[in-house]
Amino acid sequence: MDNKLLPINKFKKKNCLITYARGSEEDILEMLEHSELCKLNYAYCGDSKHTALMIVCDRGLKKAPLKILEYLELCELDAVNEHDVTAFMLACNNKLETVAIKMLKSFELCKLDQASRTHKYTALIIACNKKLETVAMKMLEYPELCKLDQVNYNGDTALMMACKKKLETVAMKMLEYPELCKLDQVNNNGDTSLIIAYAYHLVKVAFKIKKYNNQNRKVFPLYRENKCVICLDEVNCYICIPECKHFICMCKKCDTCELNKCTLCNNKIDHDTVISLSIN
């Protein structure tokens, strides 16, 4: 018997990888040894539209996607499913960093500007949300393709998400293209990128946003509805400590306050030198 027919006889399926891409990874890898029979570019239609690459990425498999990507010209990397999601987005969502990096070697096929239908996530927003710093930095080598101004269902941009996940290096890289970042975006919580950067103590990011704002004569609110972003109470209690450059609340009412030292690094506070960050 021809050895090339063994996978088909063993699985008793059509000679298409997608028919058992939901099986064990070992079976998938075995079938891929006979890639000419796998119909890697086949996709279900109708209620679902998935390629084999999408399925194995969605399952979080690590070896099978890398093997499929060896046949890049066959695997429909630019395919989009019924949720407007690509295989690259699924790889990011399942923290398949090695797979995502390999896909980015063919970045022009990854549809980096694609946004999901329901949550309005781009691959960059997903990568930031999953703290895939290496993937995000690699994507930002092509900033014009990343749709940095995309807003997700919560009103967040990729920059806001990077700040929330404390990816300072990624956020600083995004701010090399401030005109693409939609810095005046206000999310569903009433926060701007500047508010989020301050709230997560990303000093360099906050200063870079403020510098861009000042250069372009733009003023974005530091306080959410005229309240401190830390304690949501006093208006003028949010300060910068010059010695350590940390931002803390000084309302002396909330849990983050201590009278004479920084709550982040225990530096003593010289109350004569603190800098109010109010822009009112």
Rounded Cα–Cα distance for residues 22 and 40 (Å): 14
| Residue 218 vs residue 139, higher pLDDT | 139
Q: Is the pLDDT of residue 128 over 50?
A: yes
Please write down the long-range contacts of 153-158, taking CB distance under 8 Å and 24 or more positions apart: 153/118, 153/119, 153/120, 154/187, 154/188, 154/189, 155/185, 155/186, 155/187, 155/188, 155/189, 156/125, 156/185, 156/187, 157/125, 157/181, 157/182, 157/185, 157/193, 158/122, 158/124, 158/125, 158/128
Rounded Cα–Cα distance for residues 91 and 109 (Å): 14
Q: Is the pLDDT of residue 238 over 70?
A: no
Percentage of the chain beyond pLDDT 70 is 63
Highest mean pLDDT among 33-47, 53-67, 132-146, 259-273: 132-146
Q: Is 131 left (phi over 0), alpha (psi -120 to 50) or beta?
A: left
Do 11 and 45 touch, CB atoms closer than 8 A? no
Q: Is the pLDDT of residue 4 over 50?
A: no
Q: Quick one: pLDDT band at residue 92, thresholds 50, 70, 90?
A: very high
Rounded Cα–Cα distance for residues 9 and 27 (Å): 13
The predicted pLDDT at position 265 comes to 53
Q: Quick one: pLDDT band at residue 225, thresholds 50, 70, 90?
A: very low
Q: Is the pLDDT of residue 65 over 60?
A: yes
165-176 mean pLDDT: 97
Two tokens, residue 214? 């000042």
Q: Quick one: pLDDT band at residue 35, thresholds 50, 70, 90?
A: low
Rounded Cα–Cα distance for residues 232 and 11 (Å): 61
Q: Is the pLDDT of residue 259 over 90?
A: no
Rounded Cα–Cα distance for residues 60 and 87 (Å): 11
pTM of the predicted structure, to 2 decimals: 0.72
The predicted pLDDT at position 179 comes to 92
Mean pLDDT for all residues in the chain: 76
Where are the strands (E) in the chain, listed by range?
A: 238-240, 247-249, 275-276
Q: Is the pLDDT of residue 29 over 90?
A: no
Q: Is the pLDDT of residue 207 over 70?
A: yes
The predicted pLDDT at position 33 comes to 75
> In the block, which residue shows the tokens 């079976």?
27
Q: Quick one: pLDDT band at residue 21, thresholds 50, 70, 90?
A: low
The predicted pLDDT at position 10 comes to 42
Highest mean pLDDT among 6-20, 104-118, 221-235, 242-256: 104-118
Least confident of 10-24, 76-90, 115-129: 10-24
The predicted pLDDT at position 113 comes to 95
13-34 mean pLDDT: 65
92-109 mean pLDDT: 96
